[in-house]
Structure 1
Amino acid sequence: MAGLDKNTPTPESITLHQQSKVLELTYSDGKTFHLPFELMRVYSPSAEVQGHGPGQEVLQTGKREVGILALEPVGNYAVQPTFTDGHESGIFSWDYLYFLGTQQEQLWADYNARLLAAGAQRDAPMADKPGHACGSH
């Protein structure tokens, strides 16, 4: 999902809207997406969020007000945001951003279902994971 698919359209423009906390992307197929920073943060493709395999995902909370401090290009295929909560290890490929845009409604529903299943609150601070050592962070 986070790799490159030669059939996926590429962005023609990328705009950070700091006040509304939205990343606007216009793709070569004419589609425009407005991705909330929170959605990007809770679905970051990093190992810190996705884990190292199926079932190891880490539910993200307290990200509603997260901002993006910087958005750095990664080659000609991705961007790497630095979020205001310090998270900076996610590399968002063009096709992953396209996926987030086209699946945004379902991803929000899935996120809310995961919160409910975990008995977690969307705005609750992240719980510290004592003793978690991982070289990918």
Structure 2
Amino acid sequence: MAGLTPDTPTPTALTVHKQSRVLEIAFSDGTEFKIPFELMRVYSPSAEVQGHGPGQEVLQTGKREVAVLELEPIGNYAVKPVFSDGHESGIFSWDYLYFLGAEQARLWAEYTQRLEAAGAQRDAPMLAAGGHGCSSH
């Protein structure tokens, strides 16, 4: 996990906006981000999403309507969101949330490209667990 240094900005305010589906987060360096739940869910740092190495990522779809039911604090360095689709294995460190906020335009573009490359629809339901999209025809 990326190491937290004393220079890593820490959140001064965290607000879960359930209606607009964004996590509003203000950092100690004065930056503020509104990170859509969908982006958090699609880029969850969990092994379930990231796989166990480069190229192992599991493309997430159908997450536009996903909600964050709660944010569990993990020590004083991270939070664990509990998503409405049952996903709760992602530990979002402060620096990862900062990265998602700062890079969200690029991350959205990357996600859209990955969907197109896979011929997947953003709102398509996820394949059942175990279906890693490795069809053999």
Please give the range of the TM-score, normalised by the shorter of the 2 chains. Answer: over 0.9
Contact 1:80–1:89 (Cα < 8 Å) also in 2: yes
Match of 1:109 in 2: 109
Report the Cα offset of residue 131 of structure 1: 7.4
Where structure 1 has 5 or more consecutive residues not aligned to the other structure, the ranges are: 133-137
Q: Does 1:9 align with 2:9?
A: yes
Identity %: 71
Q: TM-score if structure 1 supplies the norm length?
A: 0.92
Q: Which runs of 4+ in 1 moved over 3 A?
A: 129-132
Select between 122-131 and 93-102 the one with higher mean Cα deviation.
122-131
Q: CA RMSD in A?
A: 1.2
Kindly provide the CA deviation profile for residues 79-107 of structure 1, in whole angstroms up to 9, marking residues without a partner as x.
00000000000000000000000000000
Q: Deviations over 1:25-79 (max 9, x none)?
A: 0000000000000000000000000000111000000000000111000000000
Asked whether the equivalents of residues 72 and 79 of structure 1 are also in contact (C-alpha less than 8 Å), the reply is yes
| Counterparts of 1:131 and 1:57, CA distance in 2 | 13
Aligned pairs, number: 131
Match of 1:58 in 2: 58
CA distance in structure 1 between the partners assigned to 2:108 and 2:20 by the alignment: 18
Return 5+ residue gaps in structure 2 as ranges: 133-137
Structure ranking higher on relative contact order (CA contacts 8 Å, 6+ apart)? 1
State the distance in 2 between where 1:114 and 1:131 align: 17
SS, match of residue 65 in structure 1: coil
